Every structure is written in structure tokens, then in C-alpha cells.
Structure 1
Amino acid sequence: MKRQLVFAVLLGGASLAGAPVWAGQAPAAASAPDIAVSHHDRVYAAEQFSNTVSVTDPADNRLLGVIRLGDPSPTNFSPLYKGQLLVHGMGFSPDHRTIAVVSIGSNSVTFIDTATNSVKHTTYVGRSPHEALFTPDGKEVWVTVRGENYVSVLDGTSYEEKTRITVPNGPGMQIFSPDGKYGYVCSSFNPETDVVSVADHMIVGKVVQASPFCPNIAASPDGSQVWFTLKDTGKTQVFDARPPFTLLKTLDTGPITNHVNLVRNAHGQFAYVTVGGLNEVQVFRTDDFAKVATIRVGRLPHGIWPSGDGSRVYVGLENDDQLTAIDTITNRVIANIPIGQAPQAVTYVPDAVPSTGMTGNEAMSVMEGTMSSQTAGLQPLGLAGQAAHFTMIPIGAAGPAGGQAPTSVSLFDQGLSQVLQASATGLDPRAPYVLALATRPDGSGGLEPLASFTTNPAGSAIVNALGPIRQAVQGEAAELRRYLVIAPGTMTAFGKPVQVQAP
């Protein structure tokens, strides 16, 4: 049996004997061959607060280590800091040999060799880039510069900027049609998705978004549809991938709708949507748009990507510091892997570590997960794996309604301080609130505001703060301990709390 497995690996990613083949997974075309899950594959997650990229072997769902692109706070506050900041977006080259990692705080795209986990090049672009993806022919890398009004087009070999495509302010993400003809660019600040001709970089179509904030977009392998999410209103929309780019469907998916990706398997073609405010992944057919499954996962699911054969999808849990593996035939969680802090984008790269040139013994070592080169260039998780997690519930509630906490809170360790991130839901839409510390568990007594925020139309928000907060909310001395609450109002004028830290 082992020899059969090795033989399959030496064929360069061919399907294992007896393994099902569905043909073509996003972002490739339906005509592309599937690549069975093996020790040559890698799952990468971009981790925003530890400034790392975690590297997981999906064959045994084991974290191999992290690529450290930067340091935690407060080191990265220094004017002499040279590392990357807020590691966030991710794409990979058509030959599966390079990942492109966007850091929104340092305005950079870092190109990493998948075989060695080493940085090949770093390109600096405009303000707050969000995503970088290679065109299907690998000749260009398009980077959405969300803090400005253009897509930066880099040369696919030199990684230097060659031109810019002007679009409405705040381009959120781009994806390409599998045939490489079109690039679809959704917006985070304007209710408009633009369709761009890859050949000449001209806008050839527009699609009206139901609301401005689109963080993610995906194209179906069969070239028929484009799906995009709307984080502000909790919707997912679908339009025809071909002219005249007609809107086909608008789905209500829930607060903090994050990412979407497409999967082909023995049952058909499906869209998987991560919904952060509900801590679930929703699954829809692409023919009649019927919801066929709701998969409960951990706190604040964000990025999602299918395996090379469509048998699994991997989901980054932003407020749980984990990578979740889901079997797409049963739609059940099959593994949870600890990774770095606040994973954002996730990519699954089949055959990322090639078998070409390996001897039979070397291939066997890779299959058994013992080859030392698997961890070349990687570091242990260390501080990047340290965080504390809380939930918040409405005042007067005995516990989360239906077992589902409306608000999750993570405190990501940065040494003596922590980055706090709350995924606030269950609040009034478009209303001002403060996240604060209370002196009593029920929220009564004096309040010390930490951060102010305004909810989106879905009554949700992502809230951040920085400081020694864990020491306050986990303090052993009763007279010094504080409790997290959410109250309506502003930093200077607020009312009684409406949500409190759960016991």
C-alpha cells in the first residue's frame, strides 16, 4: 500500500488509487485535473496580529510552523521597524511555487517560495493594500489598493509595478475568470464591482453591489458565476461571469459575512460562505442557490479555501486562532489545527512542495511526514499561539441564546500587552457603542471605556483595543478585577451596558 502511495506522489500530484476525482477547483478551471490531498500540499493562513503565516500539512492536519514576517506590538511601533505589519491577504501563483502575502499596515506584498518558506521579494505599493492574486497565466499580479482608487499591476516575474488600473475608491478584492479573460474587482467603499479586461486593463462592465463593503469575491471553476460577500449588510451576491454580467441572486447570509469560495465534488458545485457573527459556514448550491448545509465552527470564521480535489475546505477562525478542516461530502468538521493570531486570508496550495527529483526513499519520508525539509524556514508557533478568549451575552441572559454567543472577544498576547478584538453582534444597527471595563460582573458601577464603535446595518462590528487588558479581566485580586461590557453611547457619554462578559 505504501508503495502505491509513493508511486502516486512521484507522478506529481496524481490522484491516489481509488480516490474520487471531481475535476477543477477554484481558482482553476473545471477542465483542470484535481490533485489529491498529500504531504506535498500546504495550507497557508495570514495572521494579522502575530504578523505570521502559518504552514499546515493537510495530509495529517498538522501545523509545521510559521513564517515570521514581523514582530508583535510594541516592537512594531518603532520608527526603525523593518518588518511587515498586519499580515492579511494571500494568493498563489499558477505553478504553485509562490505565495503572495499582503500586509495592510506596511503596504507590502511579500513573495514567498513554497518549497523553502523563504522570502523571495517584497514589493511596496499604495496605502492599505488588501489582496494580491496572480493572473491565470502567471504574467501579472493584481493588488487591490483599498486605501486608494486603483489596482496595482505587478510583473509576475520581477514583482515590480508595471501599471495601475483606476477604479472607484476602495477596491476590496479581485478574482479572475478561469480562462483569464476577466478580472472582477469588488469595492469596500463604493457599491460597485468592476469587470476588467485582463488583456488591456480596461473596465468592460459594472455590477451594482447591494451595499459598499465587499471584502471577498470568488469565481466558479466552470466560468459561469461570480460570488461576492457584503460584510456590512450580511449578504452574499451572485452575478453572471459573462457579459452583460447580470445579477443572479442576493442571499441573506448573516452578520459579519466574511469570505466565499467554490467547491466541486461528487454532489455538484457549491459555494461555501463564512459568517463570522453566527460562527458558521453556510453551503449553497450554485444551480438553484438552495442552502444545503449550515456547519457550526469556532469563533469568527474568516478565510476559506478548497483542497486541490474539492474533498475539503479549510477555514481560518479569526477569534479562535485555529484552522478548521471540513469534509465537503459530509459537511462535517474533521479537524481543528492551532495556528497564529487572528487568521485572515487562507489559501490551500496543492503540490506546493514538489516531488520532482526525489528518490523513492525521499518520497516515502515525505509521505510519512518525517522529512526535515518540511520545516525548512519555519519557526515554532511560540507567542503567536497565545491568546485568551471570552464571550459576551445580553444583560439578564443566563447564557448565549441557542448556545450561540452574540459577541466573541479574543485577547492576543503581545508580551505584557494584548490586542483585543471583539466580534460584536446582536446590537442595534447603525448605532454608537463603547466597549468598556466595568467594576462589577453585571455591568453596574463605574465604566472605563476602551474603544468606541458604530455598528453596521446588520448590527455588528469588529472592535479593537490595545493594552494590558488580560491582566484586568483575569485579575486574581477581586478589588482590581474588571469585566468587559458593551454600552450604548460614546467615549464621553454612554448609557447602561447591554452586553456583559459571560461567566
Structure 2
Amino acid sequence: MKATTGLLSIVLGVGIAGAANAQQAPWAKPDAPVAAGDRVYAAEQFSNTVSVVDPATNQLLGVIRLGDPQPMNMSPLYKGQVLVHGLGFSPDGRQLAVVSIGSNSVTFIDTATNAVKHTTYVGRSPHEAFFTPDGKEVWVTVRGENYVSVIDATTFKEKSRVITPGGPGMTIFSPDGRYAYICSSFNPELAVFDVRSRKRVGTVAQPSPFCPNIAATPDGKQVWFTLKDVGKAVAFSAKPPFNVLKVIDTGPITNHVNFARTAAGQFAYVTVGGTNQVKVFRTDDFTQVTTIPVGKLPHGIWPSGDGTRIYVGLENADALAAIDTTTNRVMAEVPIGQAPQAIGYVPRAVPNGDGRSGLEPLGAAGAAAHLILTTASGDAATSVSLFDQGLTQVLQAAASGLQPKRPYVLALAARPDGTGDLQPLARFMSNPAGSAIVNAVGPIRQLVSPDKAAPARFLVIAEADQTGPGRVVQVQRR
């Protein structure tokens, strides 16, 4: 299958490039068929690593370790990165810009050697970073504040700031480099800036405040962004007056969007974490083409250099899924680090050699346990991952199937059906789509999967009010 897919990739890549000079976003370059020097990178939030995958073989080569897990990263003398999350890359494919939310940093990595070149510290809780199409600047959205930090890509120093609505989520650029589109994670307002003058030239209303991701189409005509809280994707015109073209209901925990331009046309691929799917839409008439089941909590997504594949990070499965865009089916799944967030596919990242220099084995970064919570009718509704951090785990639940905008509690129960006293782990509020991402820390794996000498506990989700947990609505499937 791999050999057939590889041949098909080459044939399609040559055919498209020769007939229509097809190209993939964001750099408006001619197609580059999948090759051994290509790399897929995944920024991993709980292992604080960047996984490096060879797409020619769909094999993990190793990880770039940017920090330690808990509790080492709690020390006042700790120098590593925390919550490795965002990921961008330069137009020439020679540099990565990796954003760590918890340590307020952007780490610049040489793709040929996997070596850290520099770490630049910015304001509170940066989220994503991306290079301008000329490769001279990196725009970092500082989500905990109200600006984008503009960093010189050569000196790695901040050269200016672009003031935005509070909580900028991500910046992407038009392929010609003229416009910067900056969505917001805290305000229902997307801002468009002229890159050269830094002046704001447009506004696009967001149907909700929480936009985590934005992408421009390869043809430069549209920009799409996702709304995680209400489960929608929005397409608008990339040129003035930046009018909204379509609002699409995609599903709970809609995460990222990206595009593939193939012989069949130009398509948007949207990750929907609450249903463990990738949904595919045409960009000409916005019709849904298909739905692809991919695994637990799909998050980041990026196309290969010729659009024959789409790579998806599975946040609650510690894996990278490769989709063949000809068949829209998963062709491979690669184990990677804990809770992958942003994904980047960099064609010709390694011009010479095997590109393994500086990489470490996955090791403990690949250790996790996985559970499912079901509703009273037995339907799977919430996926839970327990990411090992030594003796404790970071618990992450991708909760769905709940009532919108209601308080709930994730708790431990003494009985499998959730009856009896409950021990709360984390209170949370469901979003307008009836979903939420819930986190907790503790020796939870030892409780929900104990040896015979220890009493078992069972994860549940219960309704909540000011007095504490109420009716149990989801229970752990054994």
C-alpha cells in the first residue's frame, strides 16, 4: 500500500503541476511530491517535545526535547519549556518556530540538524507563530494580552508590536504577503492588517469569541477560521471588503482547518475533536464531501507539499494520522508524543543525510492510558487520556454530549454506575456546543486501573451546582 500510495503521489503531483501549476498553502510554491527529505512536525503539550516524522516511510525518527514533564518543570530554577503548543515554519523550510504557552516562549529550531538556535521570550500565553511569506518576520499571537509580537527572523528579537483585540488566537498571511489575518480567542472580532504598514484595514465578525486556528487557501481567494466553542468553521473573502462567504456547522470541539489542492479540486479539511472526525468540504460551493474517522480528539492538521496527503495530530491518542486525499481514508498512524497540538509538514526540510541528529527516543513521552465515558444509553461521548508524568498523570477529557453552557464536574466514583459519594477532580462549564476540554493532575491511572490490593475508582461526569455534584450523566466504560 505504501509503494502504491507513493507512486500515486508522484503521478498526481507531476500531473497537477504540469497542467495547472497547483500549489499548497501557505507559500504559493509549486507542488513538491512526498520525498525522504520531507518532515512532519508535531508540537506536544504534555511531554514538552516536538516529534519528527519521515512521511516517506511514515516512521517516527525521534523527538526534540524542549522541556521536562511534571513535577520537574515546577522548579523555580527550571529553564526548559512548558506546554509546547504552537508551530510554524519558514518559507525555505530551514527553521521551525515552536510556541510554548506556559513559558511564554518561541523556540527557533534548525530543521536540518534539529538543533535549537534561539529562544525568544514574549508576553503572557502566546499561542501560535508564523513566518511572513518573505521569511523576514515571525508574527507571534500573544493570546494572554492584546498584541502580536513581530520578531526579526534573523536576530530573533522583537522589532514591533501590532495591537489587536484582546486575546489574538493566530495569524496567517495571504500567499502574496500583503495581508495578515488575525483571529481572536476572547473577542468575536477578526482583524485584518496590511503587513507592510501595520495598519488595520478590515474586520470580520466572528460568530463566537473562541477562534483557535486560521488558514488561507492555496489560490489566495479565501480565508477559513474555526470556532471551538460553538463548533463552526467560517470562510470569508481574502480580499477587501473581506465579506463572509459561509458559516458551516462542523461539530463540537472544532479545532483546526487546512487545505489540499488536488486533481479533483481544492478542499478544506476540518478537525472535529468531539466526534473524532475530519470533515472535508469543497471551497467552491462549500458542500461537504465526506467525513473521515481518524481517532481520538483530532487537533492540528497540515497537507503534504503536493496535497496528496493530509496529516492530523490525534491529541488523545498520542498519534499522527496520515490521510490519502485521493481516497480520503487513513493510510497510516504513527505513534508520537503526548497530546499533539499544532502540526506542520515541511517539504525538503532535510536536504542531506538522514536528519536524525539531535533527536531522542520517544521513551516516556509515549506513555499514556486511554478511557471512554458513555452516556446512560451506552453511547461513547467522552474520551479520556492519562499522560504519564512519572508517578502522576495529566488527565485530559474531551467531553461532549452534554447540555450547552451548563456546570459539570469530572469526578471519581466508588461504584461503576456512579452511585454513592463522588470525589470531584475538576469543575467545568460546557461550551455552547455541549462540549469541553477538562484537565486534572494526580495518580489517577492507579485509581481507575488498580491492582487487586487497591480499591477501584471510576471516572464519571456529573451535573454540578453550588452545593456539589448532582446527577451522574456519563460513566467510565470498563
TM-score by structure 2 length? 0.96
Q: Deviations over 1:21-72 (max 9, x none)?
A: 352101122xx21111011000000000000000000001000000000000
Change over 3 Å in CA distance of 1:325–1:491 after alignment to 2 = farther
For residue 477 of structure 1, report the CA deviation from its aligned partner: 2.8
Equivalent position to 2:268, from 264, 268, 271: 271
Structure with higher strand content: 2
Residue number in structure 1 paired with 2:5: none
Equivalent position to 2:62, from 57, 60, 65: 65
For residue 184 of structure 1, report the CA deviation from its aligned partner: 0.1
Which amino acid in structure 1 is aligned with residue 69 of structure 2? P
For residue 490 of structure 1, report the CA deviation from its aligned partner: 4.6
Q: In the alignment, is the contact (CA less than 8 A) between 1:186 and 1:193 conserved in 2?
A: yes
CA distance in structure 1 between the aligned counterparts of 2:333 and 2:465, rounded to whole angstroms: 38
CA distance in structure 2 between the aligned counterparts of 1:250 and 1:126, rounded to whole angstroms: 32
For residue 264 of structure 1, report the CA deviation from its aligned partner: 0.2
Residue number in structure 2 paired with 1:387: 368
RMSD in angstroms over aligned alpha carbons?
1.5
Number of aligned positions between the proteins = 467
CA distance in structure 1 between the aligned counterparts of 2:438 and 2:124, rounded to whole angstroms: 21
CA distance in structure 1 between the aligned counterparts of 2:296 and 2:335, rounded to whole angstroms: 13
Equivalent position to 1:113, from 99, 110, 113: 110
Which amino acid in structure 2 is aligned with residue 346 of structure 1? I
CA distance in structure 1 between the aligned counterparts of 2:10 and 2:278, rounded to whole angstroms: 27
CA distance in structure 1 between the aligned counterparts of 2:55 and 2:225, rounded to whole angstroms: 26
The alignment status of 1:377 with 2:374, answered yes or no, reads no
CA distance in structure 1 between the aligned counterparts of 2:66 and 2:164, rounded to whole angstroms: 30
Q: Structure 2 stretches of 5 or more lacking a match?
A: 1-8
State the secondary structure of the residue aligned to 1:384. Answer: helix
Q: In the alignment, is the contact (CA less than 8 A) between 2:188 and 2:206 conserved in 1?
A: yes
Equivalent position to 1:21, from 16, 23, 28: 16
CA distance in structure 2 between the aligned counterparts of 1:81 and 1:154, rounded to whole angstroms: 25
Which amino acid in structure 2 is aligned with residue 392 of structure 1? L
Greater shift, 18-27 or 57-66, is seen at 18-27
CA distance in structure 2 between the aligned counterparts of 1:17 and 1:27, rounded to whole angstroms: 20
Q: In the alignment, is the contact (CA less than 8 A) between 2:13 and 2:32 conserved in 1?
A: no
Q: In the alignment, is the contact (CA less than 8 A) between 1:452 and 1:491 conserved in 2?
A: no
Which amino acid in structure 2 is aligned with residue 386 of structure 1? A
Equivalent position to 1:178, from 175, 179, 185: 175
Counting only pairs closer than 5 Å after superposition, residues 149-298 of structure 1 correspond to structure 2 as 149-298=146-295
CA distance in structure 1 between the aligned counterparts of 2:47 and 2:284, rounded to whole angstroms: 40
State the secondary structure of the residue aligned to 1:495. Answer: strand
Kindly, what percent of the aligned residue pairs are identical?
70
The alignment status of 1:477 with 2:452, answered yes or no, reads yes
CA distance in structure 1 between the aligned counterparts of 2:86 and 2:463, rounded to whole angstroms: 33
CA distance in structure 2 between the aligned counterparts of 1:18 and 1:24, rounded to whole angstroms: 10
Change over 3 Å in CA distance of 1:93–1:476 after alignment to 2 = same
Equivalent position to 1:497, from 453, 472, 477: 472
Q: In the alignment, is the contact (CA less than 8 A) between 1:322 and 1:337 conserved in 2?
A: yes
Counting only pairs closer than 5 Å after superposition, residues 36-47 of structure 1 correspond to structure 2 as 36-47=33-44
Q: In the alignment, is the contact (CA less than 8 A) between 1:434 and 1:490 conserved in 2?
A: no
Q: In the alignment, is the contact (CA less than 8 A) between 2:152 and 2:158 conserved in 1?
A: yes
Q: Structure 1 stretches of 5 or more lacking a match?
A: 1-13, 356-370
Counting only pairs closer than 5 Å after superposition, residues 425-464 of structure 1 correspond to structure 2 as 425-464=400-439
Equivalent position to 1:147, from 144, 148, 151: 144
For residue 454 of structure 1, report the CA deviation from its aligned partner: 0.3
For residue 496 of structure 1, report the CA deviation from its aligned partner: 2.0
The alignment status of 1:411 with 2:415, answered yes or no, reads no
Counting only pairs closer than 5 Å after superposition, residues 122-137 of structure 1 correspond to structure 2 as 122-137=119-134
CA distance in structure 1 between the aligned counterparts of 2:466 and 2:365, rounded to whole angstroms: 31
For residue 492 of structure 1, report the CA deviation from its aligned partner: 4.8
Q: Deviations over 1:141-163 (max 9, x none)?
A: 00000000000000121110000
CA distance in structure 2 between the aligned counterparts of 1:198 and 1:156, rounded to whole angstroms: 15
